[in-house]
Structure 1
Amino acid sequence: MTNDDFKIFSPSIPTDPGIYQYIDAEGKILYVGKAKNLRNRLASYFGEKKYQLAKTKVLIRHSHHIEFMIVGTEHDALLLENTLIKKHQPRYNVMLKDEKSPLIYICIKLERFPRVFLTRKTFKDGSVYFGPYLQKFRVEQIAELIRKLFQLRTCQLNLSVENIAKNKFKPCLEYHIKNCAAPCVALESEESYNRKIEQIKNILKGNFAAVKNHLKEEMARAAEEMKFEQAHALKEKLALFEDYQGKSTVVNPNIHDVDVFAIADDEKEAFVNYLKVVNGAIIHTYTLTLTKNLDEDREMMLAFAIQSMRERFNSITKELIVPFHVVLPENDLIITVPKIGDKKKLLELSEKNVQYHLLQKRKQAMNAT
């Protein structure tokens, strides 16, 4: 498509909000975009050539025609744009860069007396998955804490009511070294086991106060019932948990549940850092790399990254802390752009992380040349 082609086509373009698609000669979608005003947005691609980015020129050169769809509002345009990009994965849209580091999840298996284990694969089998975690040492640290706090089974036995009632199993070595409470021979009830699973979920969600209170209540109950050995074991577990909690990065216990995002970019790539904060503690951090393909602005790239990471990490947090306002498909989100206070400090921490990531990438690129 040439500038002359666009001049002929331009008067027929509406000034309404909508989405537009660049299509090649074979009918393939090359790029999907959204606009408050379709005519003005598309005209920006066909200005003076000296102001056009090289990638924009390539897109226009490969485009046979442009299609557009009018929608009611800018928000509707955002929703439709998001859907079409996911469906068609156009060549010239912002793309997530493949990360070579494998991601790890913690799985709570859907079964009686659930096993809890690390995995690199997820299945839609009703099991509960937490993560993904990028840092292997971090997830192994959490798994080790769970193992020490709660006696869980690791076997793959079918612990059905019938099998246990028929005495099909015998306690294994894990029971004798006190790593498992032997639910296979009814030495632990399903109710007791499930209470432990709930506390594990609390740890993985960052609800540390609930776990701490649970351990204190169990310790007090054991002491009251004069089960002093059990009370002492619970006291040691409480100390272990408090040590782990103390090593978590606590920012402010009054900040309960927020997602924090910061962005840094250069000519070719953008990097977005994500901090997950629950009950004042940073429980998760991740930096995403985006490859620039056209003249994407920072607002567009940050919005794209936020949607991608919230979906990837199954976040349902309602408050987002960001460096500038972004428009997102979800209507019920609270977008906070802090100027002072602890939320501003959180944003600055995320910005520090993403700037460090950008500098490291630049150093790697320089060393490679």
Structure 2
Amino acid sequence: MTKEENEKRLAYLKGIVSRLPEKPGSYQYYDENHTIIYVGKAKNLKNRVSSYFHTEVDRFKTKVLVSKIWDISYTVVNTEEDALLLENSLIKKYNPRYNVLLKDGKTYPSICITNEYLPRIFKTHTINKKWGTYYGPYSHIGSMNAVLDLIKVLYKPRTCRQPITKEGIESGKYKVCLDYHIKRCAGPCVNKQSWDEYQKNIAQAREILKGNTRKILQDLHSEMQTLAEDLRFEEAEEVKKKYIALDGFVSKSEVVSHTINDVDVFSITNDEKVAYINYLHVSNGSINQSFTFEFKKRLNETNEELLQLGIVEMRERFNSHSKEIIVPFEPEMELENVVFTVPQRGDKKTLLELSEMNGKQYKFDRLKQAEKLNPEQKQVRLMKELQDKLGLPKMPYQIECFDNSNISGTDAVAACVVFKSMKPSKKDYKKYNIKTVVGPDDYASMKEVVYRRYSRLLEEEQPLPDLIVADGGKGQMEVIREVIQDELNLDIPIAGLAKNDRHRTNELLYGFPPRSVQLKTDSELFHVLTQLQDEVHRFAITFHRDKRSKHALESELDGIKGIGPKTRDELLSKLKSVKRIKETDIQTLNDTIGASKAAIVYQYFHPEE
């Protein structure tokens, strides 16, 4: 691989990394043959994957891995624990080359129920399906131990490792151990507990490990009631403890849900030109496949038509034969021996929402990628969104916003900032000294400035803005409307940014009378509007401070008769402040502005001498 090829590869990968979401999930690295070479987990996908591409990375394994990466994919989940479970599932499915943890034989533990005559139940890191049935893996050791403890309390499976046979029990070959005496085992090896009862307990333990606890809870509840009716309260209390213990056990997960097996999940997210169909496959209680297809629309295809295409394409591509497909709506298609489910609640609904979240994230990533390649696309999108929200006749290419600044009416000023294509156009910013208003009257000041601004634009035949945004609520909007519509007879749309009780902008207003426009405060468009508001505040306050500082200097030096602006500037340039001018000696003043003017300044500040 040449240097140019490597730089191109790294630029492509860093582009993917820059668009990763800051959410938990699993990420997969691919080599040049698009084979998965590494599967990882992350609490924050963007932060974790970014760390591989830092220049200061010095681990040899990481450097080798990064040199082999040609593509990156990921799956978003809701919790860090789900990310752990998903990572483990994918590692087992693909056995990636660079996942050292798996190659070393280390993995999350599982729970095994052996195939023996009297099955045992225990935790293990070793998977050998000849020995028995395995449940898990468990990323949270505490949860796994809680399950085992629950099963031990409820069903008391044997813990001894000696091989027990039917013939050995019948011939009296075995003796009870300590567990029997301390009531941790019911003694099936000596027929203190029948084989049928022991197998019944093992069957119920399997259901608990699968997550099918509802029927067991119902049976325990019925038994508890029966015992209570027979006045066997102590026994009923023991059953109640089992019921509470089982009811309090929660082992549900979006990634590992033992109640769902061999199911396909499809969801669709789209825009005007492209549809994104996400596919999840759930097998043995865990997600082992996640993929999003992108369909470019040629005609006005409906979601139903596109979803049908996606289902057929993905099931064929991934060779899926699932008998159940979870979908957001019933498609108008029939597949042999397949049932379509539109869930309303529960684990299946959660899986559908997870699929939709992955589809939306993929769409968002593609949009960000396109906007990075063509920044103007984002600006056009935001202008189009604002046009649709307000119902404007055309896209608001030029937006202007005003703000006043004064202290008790003194040094009153105003400012106008201009955004073009949703970005600040600083060369078009304007500053205004308030001329006709006496005292602190924000409405009158706003009226003066708006009139001066747009009457001048009319006289000079300059282009008018597509939208005026008032930095305030209904009052400011009405003042601007009076000038624009009533006095100047112009048709310029006017919006307002209103604040809540905490003086935080939380609402976009439009129309007369003004109405609230539905706009999320964490959306990109709202951020641009608040940026406009912050910018006009900054510009107005800066202008006001500059004017006050200049006024303070002028009041001190310009009061000296015989000292003009040129001499004043020479003094300030040399001595930096009025305080230093007061404190300096006559000789320094002579050297700076000459003997005659130096005498005037010195005498002004030192009249007693």
TM range (shorter): 0.3 to 0.5
The structure with higher relative contact order (CA 8 Å, sep 6+) is 1
Say which one has the larger Rg: 2
Return the TM-score normalized by structure 1.
Answer: 0.48
